[in-house]
Copies of this chain bind each other. A is one copy, B any other.
Amino acid sequence: MRQRLSVETYAKGVLAGDRTTLSRAITIIESNLPEDRTLASEILKQILPHTSNALRVGITGVPGVGKSTFIEAFGTYLTSLGKRVAVLAVDPSSKQSGGSILGDKTRMETLARNPNAYIRPTPTNLSLGGVARHTREAILLCEAAGYDMILVETVGVGQSETLVKGMTDFFLLLMLAGAGDELQGIKKGIMEMVDAIAVNKADHGNEQAVAKAVAEYRQALHLLPENPSKIAVQVVPCSAMDGTGMETIWNIISNYYAQTSANGYLQENRRLQRVDWLREQIRHSLEDQFYANELVRKHIASADEAVRYGEKLPGEAAAELINLFLSNSAKS
């Protein structure tokens, strides 16, 4: 058991922008131990009034598109403007790939050494729902610590985009030119969620192919319904290698932020995101308490067996277990 500090020590350290305390606080919100959950909840309560001041940007793209290099280049550019940049990751596939996508910090060497940047690896061994909750809470902690640009990286597979879309203000898709069917296969669902597309690797003689891809994606976007923000989705070339396009992308994002702040879309979107978060939290907490319940734990194996062999209907078994849960929770 690691030693824990007091709620006030964590809150003060985070609000003072102390990186070590920030890291330790994030470790607590990532913990599933009941006492850590209580502590996490107290810390978050203290820092809550000091949150929501950052731009939250989701960045997605399939493996190989150059997300790390892009975040390194874009993050470094942002710090040159005086921004303080935090990088988080949502990586549900870490179990399969055997490690977190940001676990190897050497992938972002320059940014990791930058005093105005903070990089937090993906927590391992968490479900997608667990990663989502912890990332939302980590965003709040980073905001309280004074980071005004939060970059949330996600791999372009499964449901992780939907989760990241649900916790950010602006969603950027990185694409490649001429990557063929394998890449195209995933783009349709994602293209409907994005606020901008950057076609990466516009360098080393690849500029023409990128320009062609940019034109094609612009064309494809015409077929999609209008973005709910009413702001047209932009498609731009970029090169994470030589820094091309970083200023343009920043201009697109800051322009988006200015417009949606002025017309209230940004605020309304965040309000909806918070209510969605509450609904998710209710679902997960109900299940957590159910499966942790003493009587449920005692009887679930036999319920599983009866259902598994078709002797009992899932509806009946569920009703019985839930009755046990509710009667047992009452007593405790």
A binding-site residues for B, Cβ under 8 Å: 40-41, 44-45, 48, 51-52, 133, 136-137, 181-182, 184-188, 270-271, 274-275, 277-278, 280-283, 285-287, 289-290, 303-304, 307-311, 313-319, 321-322, 326-327, 329-331
**A215–chain B nearest beta-carbon distance, Å:** 15
Q: A281-B317, A326-B329 are in contact. List 15 more A-B contacts (CB 8 A).
A: A44-B315, A185-B185, A271-B308, A274-B307, A275-B304, A275-B307, A275-B308, A277-B314, A281-B315, A282-B318, A282-B322, A285-B318, A286-B290, A326-B326, A330-B330
Q: Quick check: B281 and A51 within 8 Å, CB to CB? A: no
Q: Are A274 and B308 in contact (CB under 8 A)?
A: yes
Known contacts A313-B41, A313-B45, A318-B285: does B290 contact A278 (CB below 8 Å)? no
Selected from B48, B282, B283, B314, the residue in CB contact (under 8 A) with A313 is B48
> What residue in chain B is nearest A52 (Cβ atoms)?
B310
Q: How many copies does the complex hold?
A: 2
CB nearest neighbor in B for A313: B44
Name the CB-closest residue of B to A44: B313
Residue of B nearest to A316 (CB): B41
Instruction: Give chain B residues whose Cβ lies under 8 Å from the Cβ of A133.
Output: 315
Q: Considering only CB atoms, which chain B residue lies closest to A286 in the complex? A: B286
A40: nearest residue on chain B (CB-CB)?
B315
Query: B181 to A286, Cβ gap below 8 A?
Result: no
A188 closest partner in B (C-beta): B185
Contacts A44-B313, A45-B313, A275-B304 given; does A318 touch B281 at CB 8 Å: yes
- In the complex, 10 of the A-B residue pairs with CB atoms within 8 angstroms, ordered by the A residue number, are A40-B315, A41-B316, A45-B313, A182-B188, A184-B184, A274-B307, A281-B317, A283-B283, A283-B287, A286-B290
A277 to B314, CA, bound (A): 6
Residue from B181, B187, B278, B331 in contact with A318 in the complex, judged by beta carbons closer than 8 Å: B278
Q: Provide the bound-state CA to CA distance between A188 and B274, in Å.
A: 33
User: Considering residues A137, A277, A278, which has the most beta carbons from chain B within 10 angstroms of its beta carbon?
Assistant: A278
A129 to chain B, nearest CB (A): 11
Q: Which of A40, A137, A289, A315 has the most CB of B within 10 A?
A: A315
CA distance A327 to B187 in the complex (A): 47
Chain B residues in 8 Å Cβ range of A277: 307, 314
For residue A240, give the distance in angstroms from its CB to the closest CB of chain B: 26
Q: Which residue of the partner chain B has the closest CB to A288?
A: B322
Asked if B48 and A314 sit within 8 Å, CB to CB, the answer is no
B310 touches A274 (CB 8 A): yes
- CA–CA, A137 to B282, complex, Å? 27
A310 to B51: give the CA distance in the assembly, Å. Answer: 9
Using Cβ atoms and an 8 Å threshold, which residues of chain B touch A136? 314
A173 to chain B, nearest CB (A): 15
Q: Give Cα distance in the complex from A178 to B80, angstroms.
A: 50
A45 CB, min distance to chain B CBs, angstroms: 6
Complex Cα–Cα for A329 and B99 (A)? 43
Shortest distance from the beta carbon of A185 to any chain B beta carbon, whole Å: 4
Residues of B within 8 A of A314 (CB): 136, 274, 277-278, 280-281
